[in-house]
Amino acid sequence: MFLQNALDFLPILLKGAVVTVQVTAGSFLLSSVVGLVFALMMVSKVRAIALFAIGVVNVIRGLPIIVQLFYIYFVLPDFGIQLTAFQAGVIGLGIAYSAYQAENFRAGIQAIQQGQVEAAESLGMRGAMVMRRVVLPQAFRIALPPYGNTLVMMLKDSSLVSTITVAEMTRAGQLIASSTFENMTVYTLVALLYLALSLPLGYGLRRLEARIGKRGKA
């Protein structure tokens, strides 16, 4: 019975899994870009810019992701900003995780020894060039482990976008379970599919960390 139901439900859940991957990829890209901008602002020598960025990051981290999703999807239309559920899910999850990405990048940037910056400046590099050629490449290598962990966490938290009707894997499971009452079969399959996505991803990230770590020591 379980096997037959699984074969019936799996095609629908796999379609949801594709949406899950799309949401995760879009949100991860957005969070990385916004997080990097926040991180650069947080380490700025201009105190007002740094304080502003720190304040925004703390506010984002202090709000539950689901509240941010609800605000973007249900409240922004009151201001004339209409988004599809998918767009709201990607933006909401991306903004929510940008705060964590900002902390990852900030920690990596601040871990670079000041002597390296001074050495680069003595060679005639200035400002943005020092950051781009000296600081950021090393900072990314330092930030890679938490950066990768954030991606895995985002994959799992993508299930939250089901609350605003995005047809990802969890939402597909909910719809199947509500119509068939085969709760055990459905949610067992959903759990297995999340594992099938997250475990190889985690393994690949660890391999990448090891490879980059060896290059850094070479």
CA 206 remoteness from chain centre: 17
Coil/strand/helix, residue 124 = coil
Please report the domains of the chain, with CATH numbers, ordered by start residue.
2-217 (1.10.3720.10)
- Own/partner pairs for 209-215, CB < 8 Å, 24+ apart? 209/144, 209/145, 209/148, 212/141, 212/144, 213/141
Per-position DSSP letters for 168-179, written without gaps between them: SHHHHHHHHHHH
Alpha carbons 101 and 62: distance in angstroms, whole number? 15
pTM of model > 0.75: yes
Evaluate whether 73 touches 85 at the Cβ level (below 8 Å): yes
Supply the pLDDT for residue 217.
55
Mean pLDDT by 10 residues, the chain (218 residues): 83 94 96 95 92 96 95 95 95 96 92 79 74 82 87 93 92 92 92 94 87 64
Coil/strand/helix, residue 81 = coil
Degrees, nearest 5: CA angle 192-169-12: 90
CA 203 remoteness from chain centre: 17
Phi-psi map region of 165: left, alpha, beta (phi>0 left; psi -120 to 50 alpha):
left
CA 36 remoteness from chain centre: 12
